[in-house]
Structure 1
Amino acid sequence: MRIFLTAIFISIAGLAHAAATDHVFASIDGGEINLADWRGQPVLVVNTASRCAYTPQYDGLQDLYDTYRADGFVVLAVPSNDFRQELASEEQVKDFCAVNFDLDLPMTIITPVRGSEAHPFYRWLKAETGFEPGWNFNKVLIGPDGRVAATFGSNARPMSRPVTSAITSLLE
């Protein structure tokens, strides 16, 4: 009986982990962005804002995406107003990013990333790792196995050595 219960526990724990990154976001372009579609690929999830001192990092995020996308790497921008620095609507965010940064990376609608209203992905992230965005442009690198490979604060520039090294180690 003990072996049977242990096997059930291991199976349930494995299923819980496997489903952890199977979160769905609403896309700023309409429809959904399902992280399960990128299973087996590294994904950098970044909470963003249009009126932040770190907003110029959009250029670096696009450069990062352009550099590694052919290798299967994805950058997902998650606009959030949790720090009161996002524009009022998804359309304004989309236009702002297109005009100022010529972004073509995937982007969600304006999404809470902290506290009880946080998107389920961010609640999972905090439960799994204790990491919660402390400001805009925090970065979470999800490995091809669906586990958190690294987290970076706002100060980490997208094309900095720590970020690119973490990504390239997952692409090898």
Structure 2
Amino acid sequence: MFYKNNLLILICLVMFSFFDKVDAQYEKLFFDLNIKSIDNKIINLSEFKGKTILLVNVASQCGFTKQYTDLQTLYEKYKDKGFLVIGVPSNQFGGQEPGSNSEIKDFCETNFNITFPITDKVDVKGKDAHIIYKWSKENHGNSTVPKWNFHKILINKEGKIQDTFNSFISPLSDKIIKQIELTL
């Protein structure tokens, strides 16, 4: 009898825990925000409304920097279907992005032929994080807060977070490609 009652209580707790789950309210969408480009011009993200976006915090001197090649390949493969990669340089992890915006731009273009947008160097975590990363955390939780360089946040066409991927997950992984194709 004791085990039956405990089992019944456990089942009820599990059932009711599902009722508490609600979607984020999204007072603002990704497309309501903006960020400066690497050339110090405002990028109104509303320009990309209706596109699927892979937001990636990047760094030039990181062990994951070779992911730039895969990000460019991914961008070229899906750009005509409404997909965009946005690289967001940050120097918050191991000081691996110490350069100026012009040095970062030159590095990306010279070494990786990057043609997708790169933003101004910003903080991506903590109290001084850029509004995009604060928005991400408020609406999707801690999985959006980068733990290291080349953390990825997938934004769907509605301007909401679809999924997040840690630095170790290659941009060309089946996991990322599957989620991109679901949102296109």
Fold equivalence (TM over 0.5): yes
2:34/2:43 contact within 8 Å kept? yes
1:21/1:121 contact within 8 Å kept? no
Q: 2:50 — aligned with what? A: 40
Tell me, yes or no, if structure 1 residue 146 matches structure 2 residue 159. Answer: yes
Deviations 1:20-66 (A, max 9, x none): 54111100134122221111110000000000000000000000000
Tell me, yes or no, if structure 1 residue 119 matches structure 2 residue 130. Answer: yes
Of all paired residues, the percent bearing the same amino acid is: 41
1:126/1:132 contact within 8 Å kept? yes
Q: 1:57 — aligned with what? A: 67
Question: Number of matched residues?
Answer: 158
Q: Distance in 2 between matches of 1:96 and 1:88?
A: 9
**Which portions of structure 1, spanning 4 or more consecutive aligned residues, are displaced by more than 6 angstroms?**
none
2:75/2:83 contact within 8 Å kept? yes
Give the gaps of 5 or more residues in structure 1: 1-13
Deviations 1:52-96 (A, max 9, x none): 000000000000000000011000000001111103200110111
Which of the pair has more CA radius of gyration? Answer: 2
Q: Which moved more, 1:68-77 or 1:125-134?
A: 125-134
Taking structure 2 as the reference length, the TM-score comes to: 0.82
Taking structure 1 as the reference length, the TM-score comes to: 0.87
Matched AA of 2:121: I
Q: 2:110 — aligned with what? A: 99
Deviations 1:92-145 (A, max 9, x none): 101111111010110101111000110001011111111200100000000001
Q: CA RMSD in A?
A: 1.6
Cα shift at 1:17: 3.0
Q: Distance in 2 between matches of 1:152 and 1:93?
A: 23
Q: 2:14 — aligned with what? A: none
Tell me, yes or no, if structure 1 residue 89 matches structure 2 residue 107. Answer: no
Tell me, yes or no, if structure 1 residue 66 matches structure 2 residue 76. Answer: yes
Cα shift at 1:19: 4.0
Q: Distance in 2 between matches of 1:121 and 1:30?
A: 17
Matched AA of 1:24: N
1:47/1:139 contact within 8 Å kept? yes
2:58/2:88 contact within 8 Å kept? yes
1:77/1:106 contact within 8 Å kept? yes
Q: 1:165 — aligned with what? A: 178
